[in-house]
Amino acid sequence: MRGKKERSGEEITNNKLYTPFFLIPCVFLWGIPSQFCFFASSKNLNVKTATAMIHNFNAGPSVLPKEVFEQASQAVIDFNNTGLSILEIGHRTTSFEPIMSEARTLVKELMSLDDDHEALFLHGGATTQFMQVPMNLLNENELAAYTDTGTWAVKAIKEAKLFGHVEIAGSSKETNYTTIPKELTVSPTASYLHITTNETIAGTQWKDLPYDCGVPLVADMSSDILSRVLDYNRFDIIYAGAQKNMGAAGVNLVVVNKNVLGKVTRVLPTILDYRNHIKEGSMLNTPPVFAVYVAMLTLRWLKNLGGVAAIEKINNAKAELFYSTLDSLPIFKGIVAKEDRSYMNAVFVMDDPSLEKEFLDLCKQEGMVGVKGHRSVGGFRVSMYNALKYESIVALTDLMKEFTERKG
Ligand code: PLP
């Protein structure tokens, strides 16, 4: 059978066996930089070994668990011993239907969702939800409340205005988006309140969620979904692109409380009406099969790790180590208000900006990628998503300390 012959489990095992033999000379040759050992042996290593040597701080698409890569790559070669690649199986088959079903069930389980809430895997990224949410929830002559906490909220607000009226319930624009608004003013007649739980670019995160806002609550959780324990049932719509905490780019998780649907008077295009997706079990049309599979594997990984409570502990440890180091080093400076700092994306600068390039070059040299800040903010941004290992934060903070000593 094609898949089995072309890349068998035996071959992968053989690769693993070769690895130590290529590394042995490197271990004994004093003074040869580790990067050289890596390149000298990389031809003989499988991709898995190479990626393990990189600390991936990318903001998204971003780091994923190694076992997810291994299983996903095996499925591309031969999915579940079918002899077919996951890329060539039909979605309405006994091969794929259980994947979609497990992915949806895992979301409900990991978030402890009640029966009113449905989990959907849709196309179009979080950006599509900027318009799909108001299209489904906001009548033309009605009002939706939005919080303005930065780039992503601004984009969501722009789309909502295409469908109805928008009021700004709270904004951190005046602090250049370095804070989260503490006081909200939400009209009781608003169709919903929209928040961005984690601002990926500004590096802020809501710690006190506005559960008691008095109207349906909608959240863009693209960059902190499943990273911490929240009362997920208190949200009426949650959406998130998968490419940060949940898998590969190409699929969007949308959690919907069925009770908020069916209240708009406009005629909805079939593909944009959440109710049709719910009715069809998230298979209204061809889903992004591979992206859903990777999301399911990532959700399984999270469940095996102990679920959201377990990952929250790890995420807290990473963020606390990072921020305590940042605060202890005089040449680095956090730019976000301490109580609003994101535990997913840390944004910081240097007192002397002329040193920033040197530090970035050093990071690159040490295999740390994605440390450069977003083009609109500058400085640095370190993303610490679920799959980022604690060791990566240890390595980065050690480098920051070393650099400070050298410059101090
Ligand atoms: N919302 C937030 C908070 C994001 O960080 C991003 C992307 O990084 C988006 C929305 C847009 O997501 P997508 O590219 O999947 O449309």
Domain boundaries along the sequence of the chain = 2-53, 87-305, 307-407
Which homologous superfamily does the CATH classification assign to the domain defined by 307-407? Aspartate Aminotransferase, domain 1 (3.90.1150.10)
Choose which residue among 122, 223, 251, 376 to substitute to test ligand 1 binding: the one with the highest number of ligand atoms within 8 A of its C-beta. Answer: 223
Catalytic residue among 148, 244, 273, 301: 244
Average pLDDT over residues 72-91: 96
pLDDT greater than 70 at residue 194: yes
Catalytic residue among 220, 224, 236, 273: 220
pLDDT greater than 50 at residue 280: yes
Poorest-pLDDT segment among 49-58, 74-83, 137-146: 49-58
Higher-scoring residue by pLDDT: 342, 375: 342
For residues 238 and 221, the answer to whether their CB atoms sit within 8 Å is: yes
Residue 378 structure tokens: 């500058």
pLDDT greater than 70 at residue 305: yes
Average pLDDT over residues 284-289: 97
Q: What is the dihedral of CA 349, 377, 248, 197, to 10 degrees?
A: 90
Q: Which residues contact 323 (CB under 8 A, 6 or more apart)?
A: 334, 338, 341, 346
pLDDT digits (tens, 9 = 90+) for 164-187: 999 999 999 999 999 999 999 999
> Under CATH, what is the fold of the domain 87-305?
Aspartate Aminotransferase; domain 2 (3.40.640)
Q: What is the DSSP string of 36-94?
A: HHHHHHHTTS-HHHHHHTSEE--SSS----HHHHHHHHHHHH-GGGSSS-GGGS-SSST
C-alpha 329 – ligand 1 centre gap (Å): 31
- How far apart CA 337 and CA 305 sit, in angstroms, is 31
- How far apart CA 124 and CA 127 sit, in angstroms, is 7
Which protein residues are within 6 Å of ligand 1, measured from CB? Answer: 60, 125-127, 152, 196, 200, 220, 222-223, 241
pLDDT greater than 70 at residue 4: no
Residue 115 structure tokens: 């029966």
Q: Which residues contact 89 (CB under 8 A, 6 or more apart)?
A: 79, 82, 95, 96, 289
pTM: 0.88
Average pLDDT over residues 47-67: 80
* Closest to 180 (Cα-Cα) out of 214, 153, 148: 148
